[in-house]
Structure 1
Amino acid sequence: MFSTKEHTKKKGEVTSGLDAVLYPLMEDFYTIQGEGAHTGRASYFIRLAGCDVQCWWCDVKDSWDETKHPKVKTGDLVQRAVDSGAPFAVITGGEPLLHNLEPLTVRLKDHGLKVHIETSGSSPLSGHLDWITLSPKRFKKPLDEVFPYVDELKVVVLTNKDLQWAEVNAQKCPEHTKLLLQPEWDTPKSIDLIVDYVKDNPEWGISLQTHKFLNVP
């Protein structure tokens, strides 16, 4: 099940079953959103393990193999997020949509947290999501069914081919989608590419990995 609508807990709803659902977890922590449209906001990150995209420039390659990480109960994850005091949780990975996010997102919203996700869009959407960041990859394309729900399109740029790829994906997104280009951290030449492109195409903006500048986890 997938819904972008506000989840409302039904009176008398049994939640113990949802709280017992297990997810392979690489890490979870209270932090500051470092990139994208919500840069600078306090948030609780939930990084699920498992990835079938495996970008060579990925800075969390340890998340790829879910068998290397413990499985954690939804209830425990949600309680830590609630205790942090964060206004929203960001579900990321790896590729979080390899997992059914219905139990986790329902319980987060039951406790009043907004739920954001960052995904490559290569697997079907699931869960109750308030903000969807699509970061599409050329070597494993997003599913067409994802595009109508994209709030933020964030494309990592290394070469001119990535700028072309960004436009291909932007054409499939809703009019309200925030369009962002992000330089690959270890490819300094991508900065000039992006700056020149945004000056010529002002409907796009720039996303930076500010958490790396600030040494924030």
Structure 2
Amino acid sequence: MSDTDVFMGGRMLPLVEDFYTIQGEGYHSGKPAYFIRLGGCDVCCSWCDARFTWNPKSFPPVSVDEIVARATSFPAQAVVVTGGEPTLYQLSLLSDKLQAAGIKTFIETSGAHTLTGSWDWVCLSPKRNQPPLPSVFKQASELKVIITSLADFEWAEENAAHVSDTCMLYLQPEWSVYQQIIEAVVEYAKANPRWNISIQMHKFMHIP
């Protein structure tokens, strides 16, 4: 059986890293969470701060049972599945086992692929080079748009038009241009108060 077959079956996943920390972005900022980072990404943003995750072949398959056992060995009440792009894989088994253990399941995705699994919170962070599928917009609990330039405010509004009325809206300044863009982000949110601001709090705290 090929690695692809194993991954698509969802019994094993290309685990890059997993760790217990504080969520630094979006609605759940400041909350303890266990992070499961999966390898593989076909969106490949130019400003990505996790380029090392893009090639899934760099990360040997790890069984879902082992991943869940490691997550449940910590006092975390929530798990964040991220990447890379985690929706490249079948995630139903992972999310079901985590929820069976009493853990809330959160996922961060660009929405470029079909979302599988059962999720208590879906953070959709759309990317221009591979926009979200229509089905993922409706599943989003939170829309988090990365702002690298003034043109990204229009992109944010385009995406906000497709999510549900209950979806939380966030603008997040891209870290490498934070100083240059943060004032514009603040002013935009003040003028358009349905938007909130997400900053990468974990980077200011110097934690993973």
- TM category (shorter chain) comes to over 0.9
Instruction: State the match for 1:26 in structure 2.
Output: 16
Q: Deviations over 1:136-167 (max 9, x none)?
A: 00111100111111110000001122110000
* C-alpha deviation, 1:41, in angstroms: 0.5
1:140 paired with 2:133, answer: no
1:117 paired with 2:116, answer: no
CA distance in 2: counterparts of 1:63 and 1:215, whole angstroms? 20
Q: Using the aligned pairs only, state the percent identity.
A: 47
1:210 paired with 2:204, answer: no
- 1:160 aligns to what SS in structure 2? coil
What amino acid is the match of 1:82? Answer: T
Aligned with 2:32 (options 42, 47, 50)? 42
1:170 paired with 2:121, answer: no
Aligned residues: 198
Q: Deviations over 1:28-51 (max 9, x none)?
A: 011110111000101000000000
Structure 1 segments unaligned to the other structure (5+ residues): 1-19
What amino acid is the match of 2:57? Answer: T
CA distance in 2: counterparts of 1:209 and 1:121, whole angstroms? 20
CA distance in 1: counterparts of 2:93 and 2:68, whole angstroms? 10
CA distance in 2: counterparts of 1:190 and 1:95, whole angstroms? 26
Instruction: State the match for 1:89 in structure 2.
Output: 79
CA distance in 1: counterparts of 2:113 and 2:82, whole angstroms? 13
* C-alpha deviation, 1:85, in angstroms: 1.1
1:51 paired with 2:74, answer: no
Aligned with 1:200 (options 177, 191, 194)? 191
- 2:145 aligns to what SS in structure 1? strand
Where has structure 1 moved over 6 Å in runs of 4 or more?
Answer: none
1:74 paired with 2:68, answer: no
* C-alpha deviation, 1:21, in angstroms: 1.2
- 2:73 aligns to what SS in structure 1? helix
1:149 paired with 2:139, answer: yes
What amino acid is the match of 1:59? Answer: D
CA distance in 2: counterparts of 1:70 and 1:157, whole angstroms? 33
CA distance in 2: counterparts of 1:21 and 1:145, whole angstroms? 24
CA distance in 2: counterparts of 1:160 and 1:139, whole angstroms? 17
* C-alpha deviation, 1:193, in angstroms: 1.5
TM-score of the superposition, structure 2-length normalised?
A: 0.93
What amino acid is the match of 2:39? Answer: A
Instruction: State the match for 2:3 in structure 1.
Output: none
What amino acid is the match of 1:34? Answer: G
Structure 2 segments unaligned to the other structure (5+ residues): 1-9
* C-alpha deviation, 1:65, in angstroms: 0.2
CA distance in 2: counterparts of 1:21 and 1:149, whole angstroms? 24
TM-score of the superposition, structure 1-length normalised?
A: 0.90
- 1:91 aligns to what SS in structure 2? strand
Aligned residues: CA RMSD: 0.9
